[in-house]
Amino acid sequence: MTTPENTADHLLLGCMGLGGSWDTTPFTSADIDAAQAAVEAALDSGITTFDHADIYRHGKAEAVFGEVLARSAGLRERITLQSKCGIRLAEGDRPGLYDLRASSIVRRVEESLQRLRTDTLDVLLLHRPDPLADPADVADALTSLHRQGLVRRFGVSNMNAAQIARLQAHMNLPLVANQLEMSLHRRAWLEDAVLVNTAESAANGFPAGTVEHCLNNGIELQAWGALAQGRYTGAAEHPQETATLVAKLAEAKGTTPETIVLWWLRRHPAGIKPVIGTSNPQRIRACRDAATLTPDLSHDEWYTLWISARGTALP
């Protein structure tokens, strides 16, 4: 039987869908209204952590969110704001690239704060590893941002255990989160745990030990792409056996298919926090039980979902 939970957010709302089109066309008042509707749906569903990145919609996702904050007195104090930096979008003849130079990190954070109309980020994640980055310089930039009160906590995104450990070795402040693609569809992080000493292990590709490193060091795992683009919750282009199983479990437990898919992630002992990327208020509200209730999936139900999604028996 599910029970209400009264702890920190179990879900984050990913804000990549806010702000209109993926170009530099100015956002509109309708885009602000849409962002406000998404924020209100999240708050109604028990979600108070909002995940941004400086590149989302060429900065417009942060900007429209800042407009929502300006409209709503007291809202900033009720929520947790997280953003990311480290990716530079293609510009002219220059391709997209990664940039974790200290000066770039500081500049991007200052620009995010301006767009978000706030003085402080609660969490800053480094969006992608930059092979040219000097971890000591990165650590200096993060420490400076913290000392100035511009960022409270720091984490990473899409990094493996060795990369996290190398950066942490240069920092006095703890890295508190690692955001990875994790879902019932994208399961390499999970398969890594059971494919040891099998022929499949070499093809898995997930950096071994990353989940365990995060667990051992108190690093929160955040799952982007957690709803798998609706693959198991009604997306017409993905009819399959697992979607039927998800629907049956949802009906039996009096909840939504979205909740079942998110409960599957939350049921893992790593304490995974799913990031839901939809900006559709109705779909956000469909995740309410996943945000507010203890996951109601038995040991066997969890495994049945996993085996169905992988399409073959465990090794």
Q: Which residues are catalytic?
A: 56
**Scanning the structure block, which residue is given the tokens 């994640």?**
125
Tokens matching residue 251: 């009906």
Q: Supply the Cα-derived Rg of the chain in whole angstroms.
A: 20
What does residue 95 show for φ and ψ, rounded to 5 degrees? -75, 170
